[in-house]
């Protein structure tokens, strides 16, 4: 499989570069900048892309790459810092002019450059830099200029080494994809053949080899990651897979039923559903402190999971829905991945005696959704918004009781339905209801009420690290409010949370 490696110098766009390459149907992986030329050679990549990075090449701790990578005969594209580093290592010069160039910039391209083939000479590109190349390495040529940056792109055609000071990977460079396409298809000679279907096929083959005759278990949560991982593994090992759904009673409305329906009936996958709602409610009784709730739920979840797993003989593997961003964050250290095994359910670093199968470890979230759709998972699972492992318990402030769970579950289902009805489900990161631990006075008909409010939380986000409150249309909010107050017994008021993260968080807890 032709692979393009992205050497990461700490730039905010490294992942985006890898995504873009994959969008152009060439497989791409991110590797640390200190990978040696020898290791690269072993992987035999079709091309290398050096990412941007926040450092200046002359800073003492500036990340560098092995200079010998430029002698491998593999095409290289250096972007921003990547270009500057290439210049410095190959005998050019980088200067800090004291002038920074930031934002959309007009550039004049050399149309004879393979990188810019088929493009108009004047283009808009995205710049974000202080340093710039002011002297080319020997035998390099300038291939683009801007007013502030005379060497905005350079190349050594014969050695197939290219650099751009601007960022072709961001949307603010309208023809950026064209440039990347030229690099991949024309310079690296890649064919656009990588697809999700080919990815699925090779993944299934690998899982089959890894698992052999052993039994495999997988915890299902209702979310898209574990569901997709389970279906992929099922394709590889069939009946050797058993899925375990711990229904702790803290799931969203109809979630457990839907998972059961999908997996048992539709995919005919062995599924154990542990109905342990009472166990969890009993344990949570009187517990109001959020971290304590998380701890109890996490601990009990693992206990139930282990109890169920121990009923199956000869289990050697545990399927995890780990995604590529987690893999990148934990570096090459697979131990960290193991520690994270159950971070999902309560931040507990518990180790179980299983080897991991992680079929999604090289995919981004949106690629997982693509695989899920390809595998025939229902829309509701493919597009499911993220949901915390401890579930509704951390969206109930104070005591978690059956009555309060019922109120929140019904209100949450209305928020969910109305967001979907308004066609906003996919553009909103998360929209849900919260039940605080206060009551207030209201009037319904002729009587005074003294009931709970429901708070609606809706946010937009890329990765949950930061989030904006979603500007939901008034009519959608109005419908949610009317429906919640009319349909959910025990609620007489609805409020909308208009805080962003930071300083707030997405969940209330």
Where on the chain is the footprint of ligand XMP (CB under 6 A)?
344, 386, 388-390, 430, 464, 501, 505-507
- Percent helix, strand, coil in the chain (nearest 5)? 40, 25, 35
Query: Which residues make Cβ contacts (< 8 Å) with residue 497, sequence separation at least 6?
Result: 434, 455, 456, 457, 458, 469, 504
Residue closer to ligand XMP by CB (options 406, 501) is 501
Closest approach, Cβ 99 to ligand XMP, in A, equals: 38
Q: Which is nearer to ligand XMP, 422 or 464 (CB)?
A: 464
Inter-residue contact 232 to 207 (CB < 8 Å): yes
Q: How far is the CB of 467 from ligand XMP (least distance, A)?
A: 7
Question: Residue 379 CB: number of other CB atoms within 10 A?
Answer: 11
CB of 196 to ligand XMP, least distance (A): 24
Query: Is residue 109 classed as helix, strand or coil in its secondary structure?
Result: strand
DSSP string, 317-376: EEE----HHHHHHTTT-HHHHHHGGGHHHHS-----S-EEE-TTTT--HHHHHHHHHHTT
Helix ranges restricted to H, 363-463: 365-374, 379-382, 402-421
Contact 127, 105 (CB under 8 A): yes
* Partners of 396 in beta bridges: 435
Q: Known catalytic residues?
A: 80, 167, 169
Q: Closest separation between CB of residue 411 and ligand XMP, Å?
A: 17
Of residues 53 and 389, the one with the C-beta less far from ligand XMP = 389
Our CB check for ligand XMP shows the closer of 2 and 322 to be: 322
CB 369 within 8 A of CB 382: yes
By C-beta, is 459 or 485 nearer to ligand XMP? 459
Q: How far is the CB of 37 from ligand XMP (least distance, A)?
A: 39
Which residues partner with 69 through β-bridges?
none
The DSSP secondary structure of 110-132, one letter per residue, reads -TTSGGGTTS-SEEEEEEEEEEE
Minimum separation from the CB atom of position 390 to ligand XMP (A): 5
Alpha carbon distance 152, 247 (integer Å) = 57
Contact of 249 with 280, CB cutoff 8 Å: yes
The two three-digit tokens of residue 499, written as one number? 């805080």
Query: What phi and psi values does residue 343 have, to the nearest 5 degrees?
Result: -60, -25
Closest to ligand XMP by CB, 215 or 221: 221
Q: Which is nearer to ligand XMP, 97 or 505 (CB)?
A: 505
> Which residue is listed with tokens 């698992």?
211
Containing 85, the helix (H) or strand (E) segment is helix 81-89
DSSP 8-class letter at 441: E
Residues 11 and 27: their CA atoms lie apart, in Å, by 20
What is the smallest separation between the CB atom of 416 and ligand XMP, expressed in angstroms? 14
3-state SS class at 291: helix
Q: How far is the CB of 229 from ligand XMP (least distance, A)?
A: 14
HSE-up of 277 (CA within 13 Å, CB side)?
A: 12
Pick between residue 186 and residue 507 the one whose CB is nearest to ligand XMP.
507
Extract the tokens encoding 27: 């497989």
In the bound state with ligand XMP, the residue whose beta carbon lies nearer, of 137 and 390, is 390
Which residue number, 53 or 321, has a Cβ lying nearer to ligand XMP? 321
Could you tell me the smallest distance in angstroms from the CB atom of residue 145 to ligand XMP? 44
- Does residue 125 contact residue 145 with C-beta atoms inside 8 Å? no
Helix axes 196-211, 224-237, angle to 10 degrees: 60
CB of 412: closest distance to ligand XMP in angstroms? 13
Scanning the structure block, which residue is given the tokens 């199968």?
Answer: 357
């Amino acid at each position: 499989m032709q692979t393009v490696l992205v050497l990461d110098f700490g730039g905010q766009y490294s992942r985006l570069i890898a995504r873009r390459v994959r969008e152009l149907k060439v497989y791409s992986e991110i590797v640390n900048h200190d990978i040696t030329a020898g290791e690269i050679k072993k992987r035999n990549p079709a091309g290398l892309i050096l990412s941007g990075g926040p450092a200046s090449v002359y800073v003492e701790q500036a990340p560098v790459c092995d200079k010998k990578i430029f002698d491998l005969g593999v095409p290289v594209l250096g972007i921003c810092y990547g270009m500057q580093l290439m210049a410095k290592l190959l005998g050019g010069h980088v200067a800090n002019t004291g002038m920074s160039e930031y934002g959309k910039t007009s550039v004049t391209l050399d149309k004879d450059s393979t990188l810019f083939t088929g493009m108009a000479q004047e283009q808009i590109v995205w710049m974000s830099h202080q340093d710039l190349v002011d002297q080319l390495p020997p035998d390099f040529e300038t291939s683009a200029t801007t007013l502030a940056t005379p060497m905005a792109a350079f190349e050594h055609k014969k050695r197939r080494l290219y650099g751009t000071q601007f960022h072709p990977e961001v949307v603010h460079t309208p023809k950026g994809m064209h440039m990347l396409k030229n690099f991949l298809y024309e310079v690296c000679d890649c064919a656009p053949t990588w697809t999700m279907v080919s990815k699925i096929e090779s993944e299934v083959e690998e899982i089959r080899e890894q698992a052999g005759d052993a039994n495999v278990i997988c915890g299902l949560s209702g979310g898209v990651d574990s569901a997709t991982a389970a279906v992929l593994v099922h394709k590889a090992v069939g009946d050797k897979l058993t899925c375990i759904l711990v229904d702790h009673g803290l799931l969203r409305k109809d979630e457990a039923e839907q998972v059961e329906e999908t997996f048992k009936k539709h995919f005919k996958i062995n599924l154990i559903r542990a109905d342990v709602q009472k166990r969890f409610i009993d344990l949570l009784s009187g517990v109001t402190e959020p971290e304590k709730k998380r701890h109890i739920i996490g601990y009990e979840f693992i206990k139930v999971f282990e109890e169920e797993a121990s009923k199956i003989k000869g289990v050697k593997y545990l399927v995890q829905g780990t995604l590529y961003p987690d893999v990148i964050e934990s570096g090459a250290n697979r131990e960290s991945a193991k520690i994270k095994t159950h971070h999902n359910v309560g931040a507990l670093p518990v180790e179980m005696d299983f080897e991991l199968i992680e079929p999604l470890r090289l995919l981004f979230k949106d690629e997982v959704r693509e695989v899920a759709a390809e595998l025939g998972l229902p829309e509701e699972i493919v597009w499911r918004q993220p949901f915390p492992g401890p579930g509704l318990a951390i969206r109930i402030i104070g005591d978690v009781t059956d009555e309060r769970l019922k109120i929140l579950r019904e209100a949450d289902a209305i928020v969910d339905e109305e967001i979907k009805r308004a066609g906003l489900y996919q553009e909103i990161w998360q929209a849900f209801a919260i039940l605080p631990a206060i009551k207030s006075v209201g009037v319904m008909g002729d009587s005074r009420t003294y009931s709970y409010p429901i708070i609606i939380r809706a946010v937009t986000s890329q990765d949950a690290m930061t989030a904006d409150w979603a500007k939901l249309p008034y009519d959608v909010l109005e419908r949610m409010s009317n429906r919640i107050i009319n349909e959910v017994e025990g609620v007489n008021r609805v409020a909308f949370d208009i805080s962003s993260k930071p300083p707030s968080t997405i969940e209330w807890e």
